[in-house]
Amino acid sequence: MRTLLLALPACLLSGVLLSAQTAPAPKAPVAAKTAVAAKAPAPVTNYKEMGSPSAPLTFEAYTDYECPHCAIFFRDVVPNLMAQYVQTGKVRFVHRDFPLTQIHQWAQLAARFANAAGEIGQYELVVNQIFKTQDTWSRTGNIDAEVAKVLPPGAMQKVRELVKSDPRLDDSIKKDVDMAMNLDHVNSTPTVVIVAKGKRTVIATVLPFSTWKSYLDEMLAKQ
């Protein structure tokens, strides 16, 4: 098991950083057998998942939209990760919500806006906009104004309607938080989980892309 050194402090839930650890990956539910074969339904696209499902590595990132270190991560690491690893089929990327509501009053609302955008096919665009404008909306909570700058009026109206009343948004956040707390034992953001051959390696730290690149290349060479 390899432990990565901390580069910068992260946003903390309890004041303690989580060191790298491994845990078994959760087992997928087994579908009940049926007497009559039926046509397989079309796969449901999860807007938080990007890349090939058959990629040898999965890179799961728990973030808080109000966490400054998460904004740096999405500015400096994610674009390179997507271009060099996700789009080339080497790595599957999963973005998970972990709003630290005890210290960030707007984090949950920001996640709702991002997930609402995901419901209409605009997840990546809005995630990047929320992180990019964090310094502005985190002072007032006016996330709506920043998201409206990148969505056309019709799409923005749909997002507003979803944010106002759709319970699926909070359900999605709760699912990620439950996984963070009960499986990966996350207490800071950003926290990354590397999944390889059924093992989950939890890395709670902020690292430059060059370090992630070396780590991912080493992991890929072992697959």
Place 3 in a pLDDT band, splitting at 50, 70 and 90. very low
The structure tokens listed for 59 are 């890179």
Place 13 in a pLDDT band, splitting at 50, 70 and 90. low
Q: What is the mean pLDDT of the chain?
A: 86
Mean pLDDT lowest among 34-48, 60-74, 89-103: 34-48
35 or 110, which is more confident? 110
Within 8 A by CB and 6+ apart from 207, the residues are 4, 7, 77, 215
Tens of pLDDT, residues 125-180? 999 999 999 999 999 999 999 999 999 999 999 999 999 999 999 999 999 999 99
Which domains does the chain possess? 11-22+48-222 (3.40.30.10)
Percent of the chain with pLDDT over 90: 78
Which residue in 62, 89, 75 sits closest to 130, CA to CA?
75
